[in-house]
Amino acid sequence: MNIILLGPPGGGKGTQAKKIVEKYGIPHIATGDILREAVAKGTELGKKAKEYMDRGELVPDEIVIGIVRERLKQPDCEKGFLLDGFPRTLKQAEALDEMLKELGKSIDAVIYIDVPEEEVVKRITYRRTCRNCGAVYHLIYAPPKEDNKCDKCGGELYQRDDDKEDVVRQRFKVYMENTAPLIEYYEKKGILYRVDGTKSIDEVFAQIDEILQKIA
């Protein structure tokens, strides 16, 4: 099962990806996570990417396409994969089509999580992430049991540098300009599935699960 999760920043892609991966056992490929890991390690890639990420801009296509190309060649992707946060531009979508063709694969479903801007801002400004294991919380909707501490590993929770309100609004703008056109791109291919992302975490997952069971 080869799936893409599409949706605005803070739309719940990462949250739903964890649940999909748990149930279906496919690898989770999140370009945002890969880039943040490079930033944390201070690699050349990380230094370059950080400038764009902190401003809420997209990292250049060539860089991100290269990362995904390498990742999709790994043997664990044989059983399927879940792309989260990629593709984000038409150029990335076309590059992905090319790579998959070379690998003899195709996308089974693009799940579009639909959430409006005001809800996105509310979700992201209260988001906290575990510095150690990357688990994601929301101070109101999905709070940790203990203040500032990860339930899973006890790690410290922090606010991402790009989760300040002005950067979030910029990310939404970039999404509308560059990524929203992909909805039509995949609709034309007949593989787009829309879910209402304003519902609770479990209700959103129920909608996604129904789609995945149909295509599995």
Strand order in the sheet with 157-158: 136-138, 127-130, 157-158
Q: Return the number of the residue (106 or 132) whose C-beta is nearest Zn ion.
A: 132
Q: How far is the CB of 157 from Zn ion (least distance, A)?
A: 8
Q: Is residue 195 classed as helix, strand or coil in its secondary structure?
A: strand
Q: Which of 50, 123, 127, 128 is catalytic?
A: 127
Q: Is residue 101 classed as helix, strand or coil in its secondary structure?
A: helix
Q: Which of 36, 88, 123, 128 is catalytic?
A: 88
Q: Return the number of the residue (110 or 124) whose C-beta is nearest ligand AP5.
A: 124
CB 5 within 8 A of CB 82: yes
φ, ψ for residue 2 (rounded to 5)? -110, 115
User: Is residue 88 among the annotated active site residues?
Assistant: yes
For binding to ligand AP5 (CB under 6 A), which residues are involved? Answer: 7, 9-15, 31-32, 35, 52-53, 56-59, 64, 85-86, 88, 92, 123-124, 127, 136-138, 141-142, 162, 171, 200-201, 204
Owner of token pair 């995904």: 68
Whole-angstrom distance, CA of residue 172 vs CA of residue 160: 16
User: Is residue 13 among the annotated active site residues?
Assistant: yes
User: Is residue 69 among the annotated active site residues?
Assistant: no
Q: How far is the CB of 158 from Zn ion (least distance, A)?
A: 11
Q: Return the number of the residue (21 or 136) whose C-beta is nearest ligand AP5.
A: 136
Q: Which of 13, 36, 50, 123 is catalytic?
A: 13
CA angle 105, 106, 112 (to 5 degrees): 145
- Chosen from Zn ion, ligand AP5, none, partner binding at 132 (C-beta under 5 to 8 Å by type): Zn ion
Contact set for Zn ion, span 148-207 (CB under 5 A):
150, 152-153, 155
Nearest Cα to Cα of residue 89 among 27, 160, 31: 31
Per DSSP, the chain holds a count of helices (H) and strands (E) of 9, 8
Stretch that binds Zn ion, among 2-10, 130-138, 140-148, 182-190 (CB under 5 A): 130-138
Whole-angstrom distance, CA of residue 206 vs CA of residue 46: 36
Whole-angstrom distance, CA of residue 76 vs CA of residue 143: 32
Q: Does 130 bind Zn ion (CB under 5 A)?
A: yes
Q: Which of 36, 123, 128, 171 is catalytic?
A: 171
* C-alpha atoms less than 13 angstroms from C-alpha of 205 in its C-beta half-sphere: 14
Q: Return the number of the residue (14 or 208) whose C-beta is nearest ligand AP5.
A: 14
Residues designated catalytic: 13, 88, 127, 160, 171
Instruction: Name the residues that contact Zn ion, by CB under 5 A.
Output: 130, 132-133, 135, 150, 152-153, 155
